Amino acid sequence: MPFLLNSHNVFNYLVEHSLGNNCDQALIKIELVVAKNFNLLLTFPDSRKLLIKQERHNPSGQAPGELFGEWRIKEFFQGFSELNYLCQFLPDVLHFDPENSIIVQTYLDDYQNLADYYQKDNSFNSEIAVAIATILATIHRATFNRQDYQEFFSAKPDHLSPAHVPNWIRSIEEIGPEIFGIIPADGLKFFKLYQRYESLGQAMRELGDVFQPCCLTHNDLKLNNILLHTNWEQEGSNIVRLIDWERSSWGDPAFDLGTLIASYLQIWLSSLVISKSLTIEESLRLAMTPLEHLQPSIAALTKAYFNNFPEIFQHRPDFLLRVVQFAGLALTQQIQAMIQYQKSFGNQGICKLQVAKSLLCRPEQSLATVFGTAAKELTQF
């Protein structure tokens, strides 16, 4: 059985692995951080903070092994010193214990979760979006079409292979009778609608066929995996960090950018006014956070990405349309996750599926919907 962390043994664990000092243990503040993993935040008397994560184990003592992806990124940048400058945008990983599925990171006390910031502030400054896109494009561009970098990830395969997006698409197509024992009746509505929309399934299959792994990708760029500096308006540089690289791989950059855009669209879709007396179009129009409030940030995000990685269009002229389609795919993945964990698929989910279907099946016509009036300016350099 693996060693299981708790608030009583975590200090000794750090000392054993040369991550702690001989200070009075009673002076250390230990907090439980609610997350999918078992997370402890330790604050030392000198104000130093460490975040210790351990994956949850099943009754047989096995863990999913996702934290390996976080450590592999550390090894990647250590192995290729020319990429060291990118480490400033990532979390500072200090230690990895694969046997017990434990990872230790420096806690970024001056940063806050971007999803929380948006929820509290309810304003969407384009400067933040530009900072995120600049970092993402810089990482994609620096690793683009490098055979030696690709071989690094191919030599250390995991459960999320470069083809994980096509695999996910195939999995949703191959639904068997066992689903009736897993998904509640409410959630089955999604699969009924998915099978009814033949064009949706066809668009997803075609998207899986054109998935092109060509650079390092994060693969889980939700807003709660982005940290924003608490004084970002005065900080000037390094105002955001990209965290939780557990699903990272050699992947398709259009998927990263599409997932990020979908996270902004999710703010709009989560604020819908849902009522039996309203049509889907009326619900979308009456959202508490109107799409018009988000479009300037989405457009600025995309424009900044292309400004920092213009070469992508030389290799993939249809890149923008693929980004829009991957945004639709990401929304569909969010729906499936909601069904899996919240066991529900209501009217809000139906509205989200309608938007996802439009993005996947009609990406060119969806440009104005996603980016507003700035859509025609995105690829003008």
Question: DSSP E strands: which ranges in the chain?
Answer: 29-33, 38-43, 49-54, 93-97, 102-106, 111-113, 215-217, 226-229, 240-242, 249-251
Phi, psi of 354, deg, nearest 5: -65, -40
Same-domain pairing of 75 and 132 = no
pLDDT at 59: 81
Distance from C-alpha of 53 to C-alpha of 244, rounded to nearest angstrom: 11
pLDDT at 176: 59
Range of the domain at 291: 111-377
Question: Is the four-CA dihedral 181, 182, 187, 191 of positive or negative sign?
Answer: negative
Q: What is the pTM of this model?
A: 0.92
Element (H, E) at 165: helix 164-173
Average pLDDT over residues 253-274: 94
Does some domain include residue 1? no
Least confident window among 104-108, 167-171, 203-207: 167-171
Buried b (16+ CB within 10 A) or exposed e, 286-307: ebebebebbbbbbbbbbbbbbe
CATH at residue 52: 3.30.200
Sign of the C-alpha dihedral, residues 327, 330, 332, 338?
negative
Q: What pLDDT score was predicted for residue 162?
A: 44
Q: Specify burial of residue 123 (Cβ count, 10 A radius: 0-12, 13-18, 19+).
A: exposed
Evaluate whether residue 2 is within a structural domain. no
Structure tokens that stand for 51 in this block: 């975040």
Structure letter (DSSP) for residue 90: S
Whether 309 is in a domain gets the answer yes
User: Total domain count for the chain?
Assistant: 2
* 241: in domain: yes
Better-scored residue on pLDDT, 316 or 57: 316
Q: For residue 5, tell me if it sits in a domain.
A: no
Residue 312 and residue 306 in contact, taking contact as beta carbons nearer than 8 Å? yes
Using alpha carbons only, how large is the chain's radius of gyration in Å? 22
CATH code, domain carrying 275: 3.90.1200.10
Edge-to-edge strand ranges of the sheet holding 49-54? 29-33, 38-43, 49-54, 102-106, 93-97
Residue 250 has pLDDT above 70, yes or no: yes
Looking at 61, 88, 106, which one is the last position of a domain? 106
C-alpha distances (whole Å) from 308 to each of 138, 302, 317, 335 are 7, 10, 16, 32
pLDDT per residue over 330-380, tens digit each? 999 998 888 777 667 777 888 898 999 999 999 999 999 899 877 777 776
Co-location of 134 and 28 in the same domain: no
The domain boundary, picked from 85, 106, 127, lies at 106
Domain boundary residue, one of 71, 106, 141: 106
